[in-house]
Amino acid sequence: MKAFADLFRALDESNKTNAKLEALEAFFREASEADRLWALGLFSGRRPKRLVAATKLARWAAAEAAIPDWLFAESYHMTGDLAETVSLLLPKANAPVEHSLTDWMQRIQGWRGLPEILLKAQVKEAWAALSDDERLPFNKLLTGGMRLGVSANLAFKGVARAESMEPAAVMNRLSGAWHPDDVRWADLLRGEVPGRGAQPFPFFLAHALEASPEELPGGPEAWFAEWKWDGIRAQLLHRNGAIAVWSRGEEEVSAAFPEFKLLLGRLPEGITLDGELLAYREGEVLNFQNLQNRLNRKNSTRDLLRRFPVILMVYDVLEWEGTDLRTEPFALRRQKLVRLMSEWTLPGVLRLSPELPFAHWEALRAMRERSREERTEGLMLKRLDSSYGAGRKRGDWFKWKVDPYTVDAVLLYAQRGHGRRAGLFTDFTFGVWHHGQLLPFAKAYSGLDDAEVRALNAWIRDHTLSRSGPVVMLEPFHVFELAFEGIARSTRHKSGIALRFPRIHRWRRDKLAFQADTLDTLESLLKSSNAAASQGQLPETGDLFAGLHDAR
């Protein structure tokens, strides 16, 4: 696994895309075909599910390193990554034995379902056989946390270079369902993989609109507008007599959404639709949290289907009568889609994302103001003559999101972060005033730049009131403006509310703690943000004083 460990390290260490691409190209040129398949599998999200629970792995590693569990925990808080902590703590490898990536992957697959005592013996034996550099990727495989610091797209580009192929062609052939155990490298690249019938196309993604729409080329008449739906991007395929639903992560989610089986026999064959999965009832889009109740389920009970009905809000057709339409202009695809939706009698699980006609940008701007009432995240702008590309291409599709909600909150607790900022305090808990006390209500991890993180860390060193495990309690002093996308009632939080995507918007150095907002501010936001929010609950964001947990 040495070559793969070197690639892992190269990708991890460099922050330059070109250097990463070169490392990928070199790997895909030199590795065995089986190793290429496995590596590509890992790059494109086909990583094995977690084999060992974090706490177990931590305990085993602490025992190997002959240190107590609390010292492992201290080390973990500084490192910010479980697999890395384990790798750093294990005794130095004395006589590593080289096995290929494929060997290791096959072994690891074979360990699934082993009783703990046998699994532990296997893992310990593996640690002894691995070199220091190989242990990190190996541990990442065990914890199911293998992320390689590059997008699947870049990996595809690396393959394309190594194989002297077009990146788009590589991407087309490598998306969708295949498993390194079942295919051969050459077949995969030639597109000759049996049973490739029900694969989605690579998703075309939009860029955020950074300037004003007035600066877009062509003027209003060159653009199409619709709501930006707040659900899960998905493609629905009807091929070979079967309906399949794929989410943007290129994961098949058909089993979780059985309602789409209703389309069998009612939707023409050889079709691929692109749209958004939404929880939807009686003409109204429900909060995102309703949809979450339906995710990650192998089968859905009738009760779930009834309580959280889901539809696909369709906005594009990519394949029609077995013909790939992606190079056709958007306007034409839209025309076909409208025809399909009106000419075929389709069950309610498919709905057409309505066009938002506008004569000038000012009218659209007014429309955007209504996004929240419509339970959307803002607007999508698509150039009428654009083809359906692959990945994120600038200039054709834009998302024009509505401004987030904001609230001024006081920093109360801090915890050390992960990844690039491991070892620094970057995980913060905030509070608002309620009856003269500060009530914790939100955690936020992002939004500060490096200089702000440094300054805040220096301040934290001198203003810590107490420490509880990895969490430090701070003097209530600094005020931050938090931005968030949604707000809902929650019985699981002391404050009674839960925020969607909270992040730090601004450090309000101009404000003192007593000038922060109150719980009443949030309550009134909650009221205005619609009664539908009361259905279901947002998931718990995690115990404030949780010890070990997997890196995000």
Strand partners, 245: 236
DSSP code string of 377-409: EEEEEEETT----SEE-TTTEEEEEPPPEEEEE
DSSP 8-state code for residue 217: T
CB of 55 to other proteins, least distance (A): 18
Residue with smaller CB distance to other proteins, 12 or 259: 12
Residue with smaller CB distance to other proteins, 78 or 512: 78
CB of 104 to other proteins, least distance (A): 21
Cβ atoms of 72 and 61 within 8 Å: the answer is yes
Give the up-direction half-sphere exposure of residue 75: CA atoms within 13 A in the CB hemisphere: 20
Query: In angstroms, rounded to a whole number, what is the distance separating the alpha carbons of residues 171 and 202?
Result: 7
Cβ atoms of 68 and 62 within 8 Å: the answer is yes
CB of 469 to other proteins, least distance (A): 12
Query: In angstroms, rounded to a whole number, what is the distance separating the alpha carbons of residues 2 and 103?
Result: 12
Instruction: From 274, 210, 228, 224, select the one nearest 383 (Cα to Cα).
Output: 224
Residue with smaller CB distance to other proteins, 89 or 487: 89
Tokens of 6: 């070197």
CB of 131 to other proteins, least distance (A): 12
Query: In angstroms, rounded to a whole number, what is the distance separating the alpha carbons of residues 245 and 350?
Result: 12
Whether 228 is catalytic is yes
Residue with smaller CB distance to other proteins, 378 or 470: 470
Residue with smaller CB distance to other proteins, 76 or 201: 76
Query: In angstroms, rounded to a whole number, what is the distance separating the alpha carbons of residues 469 and 327?
Result: 56
Angle at 16 between CA 15 and CA 18, to 5 degrees: 150
Cβ atoms of 378 and 400 within 8 Å: the answer is yes
CB of 456 to other proteins, least distance (A): 9
CB of 428 to other proteins, least distance (A): 16
Residue with smaller CB distance to other proteins, 277 or 456: 456
**Which spans of this chain sit near other proteins (rule: CB under 8 A)?**
12-16, 19, 65, 67-68, 70-71, 74-75, 78-81, 84-85, 88-89, 92, 132, 418-424, 450, 453-455, 457-459, 461-462
Catalytic residue among 228, 298, 443, 494: 228
As annotated, the active-site residues are: 228
